[in-house]
Copies of this chain bind each other. A is one copy, B any other.
Amino acid sequence: MRNSEPIERLIASFRNLPGVGYKTAERYAYYIIEADSSEVNDLVKNIMSAKTEVKFCRECGGYTNKDICSICASRSGDIICVVAEPKDISVMEKVKNYNGIYHVLGGTLSPLENRGPDDLRIKELLSRIEKYGTKEVIMATNPDVEGDATAMYIARLLSPLGVKVTRIAQGISMGTDLEYADEITLTKALEARRTIN
């Protein structure tokens, strides 16, 4: 043991954070020991309140500290963007000109992990579409086998209702060198080609 016991215990705790190895955890631990007490108290307080105050929005299933999140409370339900996890909402919100609402499925269809349609918030999606008179549902699940299958499943489910279902485009990422793009991405990019003249 290179450090005294309380330090090693804190390092072990920090190593649970995603992507944190021993060296990074040790840097964080030393930072904590050397930081102002008020800063450390704030960190602890903020960890505790995030853990106790954050709950699921009654409407979309995203994270909020109220009954209904600020997005659901303030935007029209004309367009619903469907995501797999609550944290995906913050990712999509980077797109400044999206003004629709969200719906969190709570995962994707996964035969391997034994997750079927009844384990996702699909019934809730249907009743929201009806309630809001939604015109378009954008499927923003991850571009992988499960995400694609989930998008297709919901598209088929919604087509008899006359709701337009779209899928976020798959193709070459901005700034990527063609040379490093994988075969599947290139195939999708070619399929989805658009006229530019």
Contacts and interface: CB of A to CB of B under 8 A. Distances in A.
Contacts of A14: 43
B9 A50 contact: yes
Interface string A28-62: 11111101010110111011111101100000000
A16 interface: yes
A73 to B, nearest CB: 11
Contact of A13 (B12, B46, B86): B46
Contact of A44 (B37, B47, B87): B47
Interface residues of A, number: 50
A122 interface: no
B63 A7 contact: yes
A93 interface: yes
Nearest to A62: B4
Contacts of A13: 39, 42-43, 46-47
A109 to B, nearest CB: 20
Contacts of A17: 27-28, 31
B4 A69 contact: yes
A51 B32 contact: yes
Interface string A1-31: 0111111011011101111000010111111
